[in-house]
Structure 1
Amino acid sequence: MSKEQCLIRAIVPKEKIGFTGWIFEGYEHVGLVSTIDSRAGEILIRTTSDLYEQAEKILQNLPFQIEIL
C-alpha cells in the first residue's frame, strides 16, 4: 500500500493466512497481520515507517506465492 501509511495489503493463498500471521509473530514488533478477506486471501499488515521495508522483505521471502497490492 504505502510506506507513509505504514500499511501493506497483500494476497496470500487463503490456507496460508494463519501461517503468515505466525511468521510475523515470530518477528516480534515488525508488523501485525489482519485478515481483510479470508476467501480471497487478502491480508493487511500494520507496521511502522522504520520497519516497513523489513516487513516487505519478510513477505517477499515467504515460501509461497504472494502479491503485494
Structure 2
Amino acid sequence: MNADLYVQVEPRNINYLNRIMEGYEYLGMVTTLDRQAGILRIRCTSDTRLETQELLSTLKIPLRFLSDSIVAALGKRE
C-alpha cells in the first residue's frame, strides 16, 4: 500500500511546510509536484502516515489533502 500523502497549500507556504517536516524528519519527506499550484507529495511509511496527517492538520495555514485519484487526474503524480 502506498502511504504517501498529497496536499495542496498556498505556494507561499511550501517552504514553511517543508521546514516543519524537516523538523520532524522521521515522519516524511516533502517533494513539490507543482510549485505554482502548491501541490506537494509527502512520502510517509504506513507507520507514520496517520501521525503525519495529524501534524499537518494542526498547522495554521490553509491546507487541503488530495486523494491519489485527484493528483493522478491532474497529471502530477510522480
TM-score (norm 2): 0.81
Where do 4+ consecutive residues of structure 1 move more than 4 Å?
none
Whether 1:38 aligns to 2:51 is no
Name the count of aligned residue pairs: 66
Aligned: 1:53 with 2:50: yes
1:62 maps to which residue?
59
Q: Unaligned 5+ residue runs, structure 2? A: 67-78
Higher helix proportion, which one?
2
Separation in structure 2 between the aligned mates of residue 58 and residue 39 of structure 1, nearest angstrom? 24
Q: Which residue of 2 aligns with 1:10?
A: 7
Structure 1: stretches of 5+ with no match in the other structure:
none
Q: TM-score, normalised by structure 1?
A: 0.91
User: What percent identity do the matched residue pairs reach?
Assistant: 32
CA distance in 1, matches of 2:41, 2:65: 10
Tell me what 1:19 maps to: 16
